[in-house]
Amino acid sequence: MNMDSRGDQEEKSHSLHVTFGFALSGIVSAVRNERNMKIHLFISVMVVVLGAVLTLTRLEWLFILLAIGGMLAAEMMNTAVERTVDLCTKEIHPLAKQAKDIAAGAVLIYAIMCVMIGLIIFIPKISRLIHL
Ligand SMILES: Nc1ncnc2c1ncn2[C@@H]1O[C@H](COP(=O)(O)OP(=O)(O)OP(=O)(O)O)[C@@H](O)[C@H]1O
């Protein structure tokens, strides 16, 4: 590595709190610009409220938190793939389609798992409540 390229790297490395700021602005941008993120956030708040009302156990909360955090993160990675593909080409290209569809497929798989986790945790509690 020559001095110039090392210099470039040093210029590009930011302090921890600046990097954290970039990540935060990424979250804000995704929530502001992506309809799906707003939907996921709304559902997440509803699930947390329902969990509090039905007094979930510590283990159940762990699964719910993993589901919510994973879902939001997966949606944001999907958005990042979409943006990157759009930046690379404005043309119709089979690889661009594959990249976007695979990323969307990953979100769908995680969403299905989240629904299953939600059903496994909430259905017994709600049915117990109904049969009281
Ligand atoms: N450059 C491209 N070449 C080929 N197919 C593409 C290209 N861009 C998007 N597509 C395909 O068109 C469809 C719609 O893509 P689009 O980028 O509009 O995302 P979307 O699914 O509508 O998601 P969002 O609403 O979050 O933008 C998808 O099947 C995608 O793979």
In this prediction the pTM is 0.87
Domain extents for the chain?
1-33, 35-130
Tokens representing 68? Answer: 């919510």
What top-level class would CATH report for the domain 35-130? mainly alpha
Gap between the Cα atoms of 22 and 47, Å rounded: 28
Please state the ipTM of this predicted complex. 0.91
pLDDT for the residue numbered 17: 86
Using only C-alpha atoms, the chain has a radius of gyration, in whole angstroms, of 20
**Is 61 in a helix, a strand, or coil?**
helix
The single residue of 10, 11, 60, 75 carrying the catalytic annotation is 75
Instruction: Tell me how crowded residue 60 is: count the other CB atoms within 10 A of its CB.
Output: 17
pLDDT tens for the chain, 132 residues: list them.
454 455 455 556 789 889 999 999 999 999 999 999 999 999 999 999 999 999 999 999 999 999 999 999 999 999 999 999 999 999 999 999 999 999 999 999 999 999 999 999 999 999 998 987
pLDDT of residue 1: 45
In degrees and rounded to multiples of 5, residue 53 shows phi and psi of -65, -40
User: In this structure, which residue's CA is closest to atom 9 in ligand 1?
Assistant: 97
The ligand 1 atom nearest the CA atom of 36:
26
CA nearest neighbour of 37 among 5, 74, 2, 91: 74
User: What is the model's pLDDT at position 11?
Assistant: 58
Cβ of 3 below 6 Å from ligand 1: no
Sign of CA dihedral 84, 87, 90, 94: negative
- Alpha carbon nearest to ligand 1 atom 18, residue: 82
Q: Is 10 a catalytic residue?
A: no
pLDDT (0 to 100) of residue 12: 67
Among candidates 56, 71, 74, 75, which has minimal Cα distance to 121? Answer: 56
